Structure 1
Amino acid sequence: MSKSIEAMWKQGFVSEGELSAPKVNDLYNRKSQNIVDKLQNMFAVNIKAIVIGALVMLVVMSLIGAPWLGLYICVLLAPLVLIARKELTKSHNLSKGQSSLEYLESFDTWLKNSMDTYSKYYRFFYPLFYIGMVTQGLASNAGGKVMALLLKHYPTEYVLLEIPGYVWAVITVLFLLVVRYSEALYRLDLDIIYGRQFKKLEELITDMRALKAQ
């Protein structure tokens, strides 16, 4: 298009002659499709990024001598990819034989349900990811050397698996924090990546509801 939908929208309010219902509805229809298409494209790109990132992680971890951690992360990400593909398919299957407002409301409902589905998985993903990283760190040669230095300079009678009790205490506290704030971490990540588009979707639905109520 030679003009952006936003520019055409502003222009429609400059001249009252261009405020006919068909033109206003057409602008809303195009604006609605634009935001939905953009979000669906972003979701599709995100799926590809997860797959590529998992493979890169596997290669990098293998090169630095931690292939099992790389494989472990890939296993954790696999369900996420499956969930993402399933949810994206649901969004494409939403009925378009309805008004733009009804379609956007259906898309918004799907989006909220999809976010709930993801959040349930992330409650397990982040703690399991944390456990994998900590386990690899403690089991590595570098981790063993660090524990030995800690025991040398800060000795304690509480030692388990050659790891000081105070280190276990820190690990446990951090684990509980990760468990407690897993969903919050997911929501923050979501807001950083998609927050702007979500806000546009919400504002568009609000505008269309207000117009319909007139």
Structure 2
Amino acid sequence: MITATAIVLLIKQIWYRTLVRICRVFSGGVSPETPTICSSSFTFLPQEIVEMIIVHLTYDTHSLLACSLTCYSWYIIAVCHLHHTLITQYCFPSIYLKLWWPKPLREANKLGLLPLVKKFHIHIHVEQFCGPGKLSTKQLNWCTLRHFSTLTNVQELGVDYLDIPSFILRIQWYFGHFLPTVQSLALREPKGSHCQILYFVGLFQHLDDLKLFYYRFSFQEGPMDDLGLILLFAPPL
């Protein structure tokens, strides 16, 4: 049984040995007789064992970063856990600009990391800082949508204050890339009528977990043409 302490010590040992070799090379302190690479049994661990070790570090970001810098094969395994979750803030104080929509999408897409995201949440703070707010087509312009549409492997999707009526005419164009993979959906105070909300939820054919959060339990009464919306799949209510 591999303990968490042993795993951390193993990673630190490999990482510090790597740093020493790099320092020797760049300091010119390596002679032709001095080997630049110290053979270690750790570098020849089977891939399955490495995966088991790194899985134990899923919630330890610092150790995952150390793993990703150890060698290429460890990086390939660790990077999936490092970028498993992406939470972006909308209308948040300036000290959190790094998380402010759509900057996390843009930066991650530059590095090709968005397809690795399995859990994605758009978190909107409206009462405390910005007054009434919502996520509508204005926040998903053509530039942002280009990044947004590369989230093709999301399994858990969370959206705050989603303005469903603004998307209803082209809703699959905006959210279609989520439909084959999303299994868990969390909506915090979505905007729209009964039919519109149920229609949106019914788009997700593989959904097996649904959460609706309402602080003020009230739905908007929709227009009569909402009756033309046909549920594609039965939501898990």
User: Taking structure 2 as the reference length, what is the TM-score of the superposition?
Assistant: 0.22
Give the structure with the higher percent strand: 2
Greater RCO (CA < 8 Å, at least 6 residues apart): 1
User: Taking structure 1 as the reference length, what is the TM-score of the superposition?
Assistant: 0.24
Give the structure with the higher percent helix: 1
Point out the structure with max Rg over C-alpha: 1
